[in-house]
Amino acid sequence: MNNQDLLHIAREFGNPVYVYDAEKIISQYQRLTGAFSKVKNLKINYAAKALSNISVLKLLNNLGSGLDTVSIQEVQLGLQAGFKPEDIIFTPNGVSLEEIEEVAALGVQINIDNLSILEQFGTKHADIPVCIRINPHVMAGGNTNISVGHIDSKFGISIHQMPHLLRIVENTKMHINGIHMHTGSDILDIEVFLYASEILFETAKQFKNLEFIDFGSGFKVPYKEGDIETNIEELGKKLTRRFNDFCKEYGKDLTLAFEPGKFLVSKAGYFLAKVNVVKQTTSTVFASIDTGFNHLIRPMLYGAYHEIVNISNPEGRDRFYSVVGYICETDTFANNRRIAQITEGDILCFKNAGAYCFTMASNYNSRFRPAEVLWYKGQAHLIRKRETFEDLVRNQVEVDLPLSGSKKEKEEAVGVKD
């Protein structure tokens, strides 16, 4: 899709608005499956937390994807989108035993990442197959804010706790059918990822009835021109060879699973916002737009970079702008960024806005969350309406407390005297 398509969407559906290119999602899915085409049994479980709109989930289901979920609500979204329970894996962190039991009752694959819940679940439900999430203590990602494989991570069971883990499995007689790891996002070094994979293979040898090994995801996508990304093709070639060799050693054709989120949808997303004010100070030119970190929190939350393009004036002379939002907080998307000359009313486009953008949006400052649009074969499809004031107050319950000395009480008292 091009700038004119995006401008047309902004005019038709208003702004701010999220736009997703379905054909880019499809091509990313095909690229990943193609890289591992020589694996006999491959399972791609899309990470719903990246972008959980039901229409996007349906698209991925139609492609043959499974679903990786982290809450019972995501499980329910997946079921509503048409995923079969057996094609959903539940990989929560810090949730209650009751929530895990509720999900297990739906027929969904359970993935447990702590010894306490593992023992409790195994004691009560030894017949239900369980996957175990291992923390290999390897950081394959480049950003410590989004790495989950380090030694102090709250995610996973430490590889050093294997004796305790094995004792729980033996005592409960529970059925372990999968082993899982996730080292974090933005994997830069394939060799480090392969090193972590060797730890997972060694762990897998401890269990005789596995059906799959889940290597997580965290593949890096480029955020700007010249940016590095995970070489999926190289990873596919090297991990495929090692995985196939392991299956021969294990004596069984296991399933190789991944749980990509960002890789599939990040580049497919665009976020469009209108410039409200161009404000010159003594040292900075601010472009203030009709959105804020209530709609796109990643830059403020962990310094994420999003390329910003003035699609209303793409050929204009570059100037330096600090792009800021309308939230009454420090609300900065970019500092001193080179962008084609901006005037009030222009539409700015944030790229790589498909993953962890709308799903992290809020109603802070009582602002409405934006619309979402899915673009496919030259057609724009509205997949989420823009919120209204009715949506904002829908679940609020108004209570008028009879406070003593209140304005209302004083007015009534004056009325009695009169």
Cβ contact 303:28 at 8 Å: no
Q: Is 298 annotated as a binding residue?
A: yes
Tokens of 96: 């209650």
Of 265, 285, 312, which one is at a domain's C-terminal end?
265
Residue range 306-316: mean pLDDT, rounded: 97
Question: 180 and 166 in one domain?
Answer: yes
Q: From CA 337, how far away is CA 341, in angstroms rounded?
A: 11
Cβ contact 214:179 at 8 Å: yes
Residue range 168-191: mean pLDDT, rounded: 86
Residue range 358-378: mean pLDDT, rounded: 97
pTM, full prediction: 0.91
Cross-strand bridge partners of residue 147: 184
Q: Is 305 annotated as a binding residue?
A: no
> 45-66 pLDDT, tens per residue?
999 999 999 999 999 999 999 9
The CATH code of the domain that includes 342 is 2.40.37.10
Residue by residue, DSSP assigns 215-238 as ----B----STT-----HHHHHHH
Question: 260 and 273 in one domain?
Answer: no
Q: From CA 53, how far away is CA 309, in angstroms rounded?
A: 25
Cβ contact 100:83 at 8 Å: no
What is the model's pLDDT at position 408? 67
- pLDDT band at residue 155, thresholds of 50, 70 and 90? confident
Q: Which residue type occupies 319?
A: R
For residue 48, CA distances in Å to 5, 74, 179, 392 come to: 27, 7, 20, 24
- Residue 402 inside a domain? The answer is no
**Closest-CA residue to 367 (of 324, 323, 322, 328):** 328
What is the model's pLDDT at position 367? 97
What is the model's pLDDT at position 338? 97
Cβ contact 177:209 at 8 Å: yes
What is the model's pLDDT at position 413? 66
Residue range 36-40: mean pLDDT, rounded: 96
Question: 185 and 43 in one domain?
Answer: yes
Q: Is 178 annotated as a binding residue?
A: no
Question: 225 and 301 in one domain?
Answer: no
- pLDDT band at residue 180, thresholds of 50, 70 and 90? very high
**Closest-CA residue to 275 (of 289, 262, 286):** 289
Q: Which residues contact 181 (CB under 8 A, 6 or more apart)?
A: 133, 134, 135, 136, 149, 156, 196, 197, 199, 200, 214, 215, 216
What is the model's pLDDT at position 103? 98
| Phi, psi (degrees; rounded to nearest 5) at 166 | -65, -35
What is the model's pLDDT at position 184? 62
Cβ contact 348:384 at 8 Å: no
> 322-338 pLDDT, tens per residue?
999 999 999 999 999 99
Residue by residue, DSSP assigns 299-359 as HHHH-----EEETTSTTSPEEEEEEE-SSSS--EEEEEEEEE---TTPEEEEES-SSSSGG
More reliable by pLDDT, 410 or 127? 127
State in Å, rounded, how far the first CA of the chain is from the last one.
Answer: 71
Most confident of 144-148, 214-218, 311-315, 412-416: 311-315
What is the model's pLDDT at position 67? 98
Question: 312 and 221 in one domain?
Answer: no
Surface-to-core class of residue 281, CB atoms within 10 Å of its CB (0-12 exposed, 13-18 middle, 19+ buried): exposed
Question: 330 and 241 in one domain?
Answer: no
Tokens of 289: 């737009």
- pLDDT band at residue 147, thresholds of 50, 70 and 90? very low
Of 230, 265, 300, which one is at a domain's C-terminal end?
265
Residue range 309-328: mean pLDDT, rounded: 96
Q: Which residue type occupies 193?
A: F
| 152: pLDDT strictly greater than 80 | no
Residue range 168-182: mean pLDDT, rounded: 95
Neighbours of 123 (CB within 10 A): 13
- Write down the catalytic residue from 131, 328, 349, 357: 328
Question: 319 and 378 in one domain?
Answer: yes
> 385-410 pLDDT, tens per residue?
999 999 999 999 999 998 877 666 66
Q: How many CA atoms lie within 13 A of 179 on its CB side?
A: 25
Number of structural domains the chain divides into? 2
Question: 301 and 234 in one domain?
Answer: no
**Percent of the chain topping pLDDT 90:** 82
**Percent of the chain topping pLDDT 70:** 92
The CATH code of the domain that includes 235 is 3.20.20.10
Q: Is 356 annotated as a binding residue?
A: yes
Residue range 174-201: mean pLDDT, rounded: 85
- Residue 392 inside a domain? The answer is no
- pLDDT band at residue 144, thresholds of 50, 70 and 90? very low
Look at the block and give the residue holding tokens 């005789």.
Answer: 208
Cross-strand bridge partners of residue 334: 323
What is the model's pLDDT at position 416? 55
DSSP 8-class letter at 101: H
> 244-302 pLDDT, tens per residue?
999 999 999 999 999 999 999 999 999 999 999 999 999 999 999 999 999 999 999 99
| 104: pLDDT strictly greater than 60 | yes
349 is catalytic: no
DSSP alpha helices (H): ranges in 341-406?
A: 389-393
Question: 374 and 312 in one domain?
Answer: yes
| Residue 56: domain span | 36-265
- Residue 285 inside a domain? The answer is yes
| Ramachandran quadrant class, 15 (left: phi over 0; alpha: psi -120 to 50; beta: rest) | beta
What is the model's pLDDT at position 148? 43
Question: 280 and 258 in one domain?
Answer: no
| 414: pLDDT strictly greater than 70 | no
Cβ contact 215:260 at 8 Å: no
Q: Which residue type occupies 1?
A: M
Q: Is 218 annotated as a binding residue?
A: yes
Of 265, 283, 302, which one is at a domain's C-terminal end?
265
| 118: pLDDT strictly greater than 90 | yes
Q: How many CA atoms lie within 13 A of 233 on its CB side?
A: 1
Q: Which residue type occupies 374?
A: L
| 91: pLDDT strictly greater than 90 | yes
